Structure 1
């Protein structure tokens, strides 16, 4: 019996590699898209570090979100698509269109090719950024019914790009989907095991904290979730009939400050205590610094913000039960120690 084929876009990414790992472990064939086939060795290394020995059901194909070429070939014969690829946040940019246009154009390019190939369902990796931005008066936990309000001033272009890309995806399905279904996953801060020395923007804060690069932290609250649980939620959204047409917040439902994160690391790794920050920066200092340092503007936009979230929908509808936020954070750190990414004390 031929295995069902799943296309995973952006195959070398942090979330994508854990999705590929789980798909292959569960007996699917996977075709991963990459911007360059030079990523093949990295992908194979990460999968092997994740415990996989048989890569015979994995193939790679070059396809770029900014071009039409190769997408039809990428989708050929696929039952499902996990659209994980997305532009990474740019800390410095001349125009917000640099982030927004590739995200929107990319999602429409992938959905068009998937529809034309008669794919059953696409699972879109959206973001918490499409949920929370522009709600300064929020005082109840964010849920899947919430959308970022882009009419509010000072929303970072990354949050705009995530919101507009997801909106574009739902509009496409409604108007041009021709029966193809869509589910969206909106993760909060994604932690968990890194599988190679190439790690990703959500994990950098753990490496920087343990390396002693952060003398004090801004007052930013956030939800955190383990990448393995995010991958599992993608799997559930791919196959469950209940997930069609739904979006799901990937969150543990806990909220931690950056100081809480540092304190969790201090408790687990006391030998690194002297490197870890003990104080929060006043909000005004962070916001003032961002005026002169563009790379701090995304950070400054989050300072002092409300960040409570609910995962009731994913728990009730898909029976999804994630690890704790602390477990996810410590798994990130331990994987970095295992790969010698942090110098010993």
Structure 2
């Protein structure tokens, strides 16, 4: 029997790369989108550092900001993992510069997938799309909660919420065989496949390099990128997953605990990691002129957590401990000379 073909959007991305690896390891043929064929060798090399793609990895040129190429990208495909999100400046004063491309890109993928008769689309959203209001400091929430859009929220959080909402609204008006499932991850760390496009692991690199004077009082639900890829595959094939949201968060840890793990677990390589706690008032003060900090000030001291009971119960998913993930991330950054 011929292997099923899966389309993964944004093949140069951090999460997408590990999804490609997992699919190939499970015997699937993979097609992935790139914005330029010049990127194909880099993707092959990154994936090939874990699994030999052979002739089972192919490429399609398609950009989430353009209609061209998407019908061809989904042709002959049984499943789509929509992992990519258009690039944008999270610190920009114009939130629509991030929101509109994310929402319209998702709709482009869904229109092509439903027209092409794809069995199921699994979309990567974010746990921040299922979070309580800014004024709720404690509590545990699940997939039934939707983040209320608020202009005061960071643009990235709004883009993830509004893109996922647009996807479900699209499917509500669609009458056909294609199904949708969405994955809502927390802070994605773990080993890298290449020294470029570090994505969310850049914060770990900065800690190791000693670029951060300390750790702000921010809690993260750390999920390993390998576990996240596994969750996408489970949601892709489980009969019960169609039409469902799944939180893919991990263990809740404070940034200072992450810094301590790096400092203690890396030996000489961790000597530059600062374990000092940065006071909340200093973070807020600095954010007045450093726009990159403004998106994190709303999270200072918050202990909101998400439950993954649904993914565990329906999909049999179980993420690994945060300490293992953080050290695997750090060691791969060092081994691949990314820092």
TM-score of Structure 1 vs Structure 2, range by shorter chain:
over 0.9
Query: How does 1:49-198 map onto structure 2 within 5 Å?
Result: 49-50=49-50, 52-88=51-87, 90-132=89-131, 134-151=133-150, 154-198=152-196
Unaligned runs of 5+ in 1: none
> How many residues in Structure 1 have an aligned counterpart in Structure 2?
339
Q: Deviations over 1:164-206 (max 9, x none)?
A: 0000001111112523111000000001110111132310111
- Given that 1:91 and 1:294 are in contact with CA atoms closer than 8 Å, whether structure 2 keeps it comes out as no
Q: Distance in 2 between the 1:89 and 1:189 partners?
A: 18
Q: CA deviation at 1:5?
A: 1.0
SS at match of 1:275: coil
Normalised by the length of structure 2, the TM-score is 0.96
**CA root-mean-square deviation:** 1.4
Unaligned runs of 5+ in 2: none
Q: Distance in 1 between the 2:247 and 2:38 partners?
A: 33
Q: Deviations over 1:91-126 (max 9, x none)?
A: 431411000000010000100000000001000011
- Given that 2:180 and 2:244 are in contact with CA atoms closer than 8 Å, whether structure 1 keeps it comes out as yes
- Given that 1:183 and 1:247 are in contact with CA atoms closer than 8 Å, whether structure 2 keeps it comes out as yes
Moved more, 113-122 or 27-36: 27-36
- Given that 2:196 and 2:338 are in contact with CA atoms closer than 8 Å, whether structure 1 keeps it comes out as no
- Given that 1:255 and 1:307 are in contact with CA atoms closer than 8 Å, whether structure 2 keeps it comes out as no
- Given that 1:91 and 1:296 are in contact with CA atoms closer than 8 Å, whether structure 2 keeps it comes out as no
Residue 236 of structure 1 corresponds to which residue in structure 2? 234
Query: How does 1:1-345 map onto structure 2 within 5 Å?
Result: 1-50=1-50, 52-88=51-87, 90-132=89-131, 134-151=133-150, 154-252=152-250, 254-342=251-339
SS at match of 2:246: strand
- Structure 2 CA distance for partners of 1:224 and 1:177, relative to 1, 3 Å: farther
SS at match of 1:176: coil
Moved more, 26-35 or 267-276: 267-276
Normalised by the length of structure 1, the TM-score is 0.95
- Structure 2 CA distance for partners of 1:54 and 1:25, relative to 1, 3 Å: same
Q: Distance in 1 between the 2:107 and 2:21 partners?
A: 26
Q: Distance in 2 between the 1:68 and 1:190 partners?
A: 29
Q: Distance in 2 between the 1:145 and 1:329 partners?
A: 29
- Given that 1:4 and 1:78 are in contact with CA atoms closer than 8 Å, whether structure 2 keeps it comes out as yes
Q: CA deviation at 1:138?
A: 4.8
- Structure 2 CA distance for partners of 1:145 and 1:271, relative to 1, 3 Å: same
Runs of 4+ in 1 over 6 A off after TM superposition: none
- Structure 2 CA distance for partners of 1:32 and 1:177, relative to 1, 3 Å: farther
Q: CA deviation at 1:325?
A: 1.1
Q: Distance in 1 between the 2:294 and 2:28 partners?
A: 42
- Given that 2:71 and 2:112 are in contact with CA atoms closer than 8 Å, whether structure 1 keeps it comes out as yes
Q: CA deviation at 1:291?
A: 2.1
- Structure 2 CA distance for partners of 1:89 and 1:283, relative to 1, 3 Å: farther
